[in-house]
Amino acid sequence: MSASHREAFTRLMQYGGLSSLPLGALVVLAALDLAGRRTGESPPYPRSALYTSLLLFGAGGVIGFLVHGVSMVIPAHCHASIAGVTLAFMGLAYRLLPRLGFGRPMPCIAHIQPYVYGGGQLLYILRLAWSGGYDAPQHETAGGAQGLHDRQEILGLALVGLGGLIAIVGGLLFLVVATRAIWMRRPGD
């Protein structure tokens, strides 16, 4: 709980993402190589989850560079990084369900679901990051205590709410796709 301990973790949050860049580049190259070798065989939905995952995780890394002091930039960084990891696990679940004896995910919904979830999260985190430098209300403050004074602040809060709502819809779509695949076991299993 010392100041130097907190400072070390802040520096890790700011610059630690750089260490994941080479690994991220290798993952993208491997995914593109596999997609090129198996055209027509592999469904597109694990790739859509991979691409949105990398986009959000990368956004979290970039936002981490903007962290200076205590502001809304910190939760924006954390939300982006966690949402990126969550999307990677969603794509992995889509890939593993048929291999574990369950049905295949619904291709159309499974393909757009990562974009819906990732797009909502991106709206949410970009607004949090933008508000971080402008003494915007903290997200823990509720209702009129936020001190919203002008239309820009109200619209910004609405954008956070819209992004959160879109992300929730994306999460519910994942639950629908995964639950249906689990219930629809392949014949003979």
pLDDT in tens, 61-103: 888 777 776 677 778 888 898 999 999 999 999 989 998 999 9
The mean of the pLDDT values for the chain is 79
Within 66-106, residue ranges assigned H as helices are 73-99
- The type of residue at 55 is L
pLDDT at 17: 63
Write down the pLDDT at residue 187. 57
Question: Do 159 and 123 form a contact (C-beta atoms < 8 A)?
Answer: yes
Most confidently modeled range among 29-43, 44-58, 121-135, 157-171: 157-171
| Structural domains of the chain sorted by starting position, each given as residue range(s) with its CATH number in brackets | 3-183 (1.20.210.10)
Kindly report, residue by residue over 98-147, the tens digit of the pLDDT. Answer: 989 999 999 999 999 999 999 999 999 988 887 765 544 454 554 455 55
Q: Is the pLDDT of residue 58 over 80?
A: yes
Q: Which residue has the higher pLDDT, 181 or 189?
A: 181
Taking a C-beta distance cutoff of 8 angstroms, is the pair 125, 76 a contact? yes
The three-class DSSP label of residue 6 is helix
Give residue 142's pLDDT. Answer: 46
Show the tokens assigned to 64.
């981490």
What are the C-alpha distances in Å from 83 to residues 22, 68, 147, 152?
Answer: 20, 22, 29, 26
User: Which one has a higher pLDDT value, 142 or 16?
Assistant: 16
